Amino acid sequence: MKYKYLIFLIVCLVSSCKKDDEASGFYPNVVTEFAIIQTDNAGTMTQLTTDDNRTYTISNPQKGYKKNVKYRAVCGYIPDGQTAYLYNATEAHVLRDSTELAYEPDPIKVTSVWQSGRYINMHLSPLTQGGRQYWGYRCDGVSGNTTHITLHHRQNGDPLSYTTTVYASIPIDDFETVPAVDIITLHIKTFDGEQVWTFQKP
């Protein structure tokens, strides 16, 4: 599976809720986390795999998607044994190395950054007026046992109007030359200056 990087479009993959639950004010115990959703050869979402390698069969399969594709998404679901009811899923960017593009990153608001499994995940809050922005990461070199990378965000002339939500992940397995247990630092240019997060390669 090849992911496209440096794409701004946020795609709402699924948005389904039981209307009876909404009407009654009752909301079930929905788990929300990053996961991989697999489609079959008919373009139906059939399987969900979490970052800690729990795999569920989707009990309410969603049709109309690309065939035999793995989507990275923030999923809201209810697990039930080996199955899961998928309430919603918002596609997350899988960022790739864009070092060769050689532009300086533009500042961005950061809501949270964390590691789950073999991914570095980001909940970002860019300012936009609905234009196209670009995303990737830049490799900044190695010092000792630490590999330094920077979020490559390009505002691309999109006016700083209102806040939206972007989810993104960097696959740690992209850094094949980084030995296990070594350190990866992620640098992000924000409106308050550069912030740095440190992770350990599993």
Instruction: Using alpha carbons only, give the angle 199, 197, 2 rounded to the nearest 5 degrees.
Output: 65
Contact partners, residue 164, CB within 8 Å, separation at least 6: 10, 125, 126, 127, 128
- The arrangement of secondary structure in 12-91, i.e. its CATH architecture, is Beta Barrel (2.40)
17-45 mean pLDDT: 75
Q: CA-CA distances (angstroms) from residue 72 to 12, 24, 82?
A: 12, 32, 20
pTM of the model: 0.84
Instruction: Using alpha carbons only, give the angle 73, 170, 115 rounded to the nearest 5 degrees.
Output: 80
- Tally the C-alpha atoms within 13 A of residue 102's C-alpha that lie toward its C-beta: 1
* Residue 197 · residue 185 · CB < 8 Å: yes
pLDDT, tens digit (0-9, with 9 covering 90-100), for 150-198? 999 999 999 999 999 999 999 999 988 888 779 999 999 999 999 999 9
In this predicted structure, the answer to whether residue 13 has a pLDDT above a threshold of 80 is: no
- The number of beta carbons lying within 10 Å of the beta carbon of residue 194 is 11
Buried b (16+ CB within 10 A) or exposed e, 131-149: eebbbbbbbeeeeeeebbb
In this predicted structure, the answer to whether residue 10 has a pLDDT above a threshold of 50 is: no
Q: Which of 194, 199, 151 is nearest to 172 (CA)?
A: 199
DSSP element (H, E) containing 110: strand 110-116
Q: How far apart are CA 160 and CA 191, in angstroms?
A: 12
Q: Residue 21: phi, psi to the nearest 5? A: -65, -40
pLDDT at 84: 96
The rounded percent of the chain whose pLDDT value lies above 70 is 86
In this predicted structure, the answer to whether residue 12 has a pLDDT above a threshold of 90 is: no
Q: What one-letter code names the amino acid at 9?
A: L
pLDDT at 28: 66
Residue with tokens 């929905």: 30
Question: How would you classify the pairing of strands 193-200 and 146-154?
Answer: unpaired
DSSP 8-class letter at 97: B
pLDDT, tens digit (0-9, with 9 covering 90-100), for 78-124? 999 999 999 999 999 999 999 998 889 999 999 999 999 999 999 99
* Superfamily the domain 94-200 falls into: NigD-like, C-terminal beta sandwich domain (2.60.40.2370)
Q: Which residue has the higher pLDDT, 17 or 93?
A: 93
The domain segmentation of the chain, as residue ranges, is 12-91, 94-200
